[in-house]
Amino acid sequence: GQQVQQSPASLVLQEGENAELQCNFSSTATRLQWFYQHPGGRLVSLFYNPSGTKHTGRLTSTTVTNERRSSLHISSSQTTDSGTYFCAITGANTGKLTFGHGTILRVHP
């Protein structure tokens, strides 16, 4: 089946520092998304980014499909960025998501 690997497993930053999260996936025929899970558990979609670069606020996602990798860049981190970041790939037609194990981010003031 499809596989998704994320790195690092965890990351600790001082507020204001930048972060780079990596995702590698097993197939080029996939559509990639990034999710954020609040410390309380709520899961929200950040990006649907099957290829290229997308920006929203301080977040930038870059996916290089033929190299089967994606990155999530967080600039000028804030304590409210703390939580877990997942990348996931979508199966064709069913919308089934296969998740990576996530990167736990902690931003200290």
Partner 1 sequence: EAAVTQSPRSKVAVTGGKVTLSCHQTNNHDYMYWYRQDTGHGLRLIHYSYVADSTEKGDIPDGYKASRPSQENFSLILELASLSQTAVYFCASKDWGNQDTQYFGPGTRLLVL
Taking the complex as a whole, how short is the minimal distance between the CB of residue 6 and partner 1, in angstroms? 8
Q: Give me the residues that bind partner 1 (CB under 8 A), please.
A: 1, 4, 31, 33, 41-45, 48, 86, 88, 90, 94-102
Of the pair 37, 75, the CB lying nearest partner 1 is at 37
Of the pair 28, 45, the CB lying nearest partner 1 is at 45
Taking the complex as a whole, how short is the minimal distance between the CB of residue 76 and partner 1, in angstroms? 26
* Residue 99: other Cβ atoms inside 10 A: 14
Interatomic CA distance for residues 48 and 92, integer angstroms: 14
Q: What is the DSSP string of 9-23?
A: SEEEEETT--EEEEE
